[in-house]
Structure 1
Amino acid sequence: MDLKLPISTVIPSLDGPVLQVLARADEGLSGRQIHKLAGQGSVAGVRLVLQRLATTGLIHVDDAGNSLLYRLNRKHLAAPVVEFLADLRTALIARIADELDSWRIRPVHASLYGAIARDDGDLESDVELLLIRPDEIDTGDPLWDEQASHLMQTVVDLTGNPAHVFELSRTELANHLATSAPILNDWLNPTLHLTGHPLETLHQQPVAAE
Structure 2
Amino acid sequence: MDLARPISTVVPSLDGPVLLVLAAAEEGLSGRQIHKLAGSGSVAGVRLVLQRLAATGLVHGDDFGSSLLYRLNRKHLLAPIVEQLANLRGTLTTHLAAELTSWHLPPVHASLYGAIARADGDLDSDVDLLLIRPDHHAADDTLWTAQVSHLMQTVVDLTGNAAHVFELSRSELSAHLSNTPILNDWTHPNLHLTGVPLDHLEVVLGGEGGERGVGFGLVPVGG
**Normalization by structure 2: what TM-score?**
0.89
Question: Corresponding residue for 1:159?
Answer: 159
Q: Are 1:177 and 1:203, in contact at CA under 8 Å, matched by a contact in 2? A: no
Question: Corresponding residue for 1:195?
Answer: 194
User: Helix, strand or coil for the counterpart of 2:145?
Assistant: helix
Q: Sort the Cα spacing of 1:81 and 1:118 in 2 relative to 1 into closer, same or farther, 3 A.
A: same
Q: Shift of residue 183 of structure 1? A: 4.0
Question: 1 or 2, which has the higher helix percentage?
Answer: 1
Give distance in 2, aligned partners of 1:199 and 1:74: 36
User: Helix, strand or coil for the counterpart of 2:65?
Assistant: coil
Question: Corresponding residue for 1:44?
Answer: 44
Question: Corresponding residue for 1:98?
Answer: 98
Question: Corresponding residue for 1:175?
Answer: 175
**Normalization by structure 1: what TM-score?**
0.94
Q: Shift of residue 92 of structure 1? A: 0.4
Question: Corresponding residue for 1:137?
Answer: 137
Question: Corresponding residue for 1:16?
Answer: 16
Q: Shift of residue 176 of structure 1? A: 1.6
Q: Are 2:173 and 2:203, in contact at CA under 8 Å, matched by a contact in 1? A: no
The alignment covers a number of residue pairs equal to: 205
Unaligned stretches of 5+ in structure 2?
Answer: 206-223
Question: Corresponding residue for 1:111?
Answer: 111
Q: Are 1:23 and 1:86, in contact at CA under 8 Å, matched by a contact in 2? A: yes
Q: Which amino acid aligns with 1:104?
A: H
User: Helix, strand or coil for the counterpart of 1:201?
Assistant: coil
Give distance in 1, aligned partners of 2:114 and 2:170: 21
Q: Percent identity?
A: 71
Ranked by relative contact order (alpha carbons within 8 Å, sequence separation 6 or more), the top structure is: 1
Q: Shift of residue 203 of structure 1? A: 2.6
- Deviations for 1:172-207, whole angstroms, at most 9, x for unmatched residues? 0011222234542x111111111111223323569x
Q: Which amino acid aligns with 1:79?
A: A
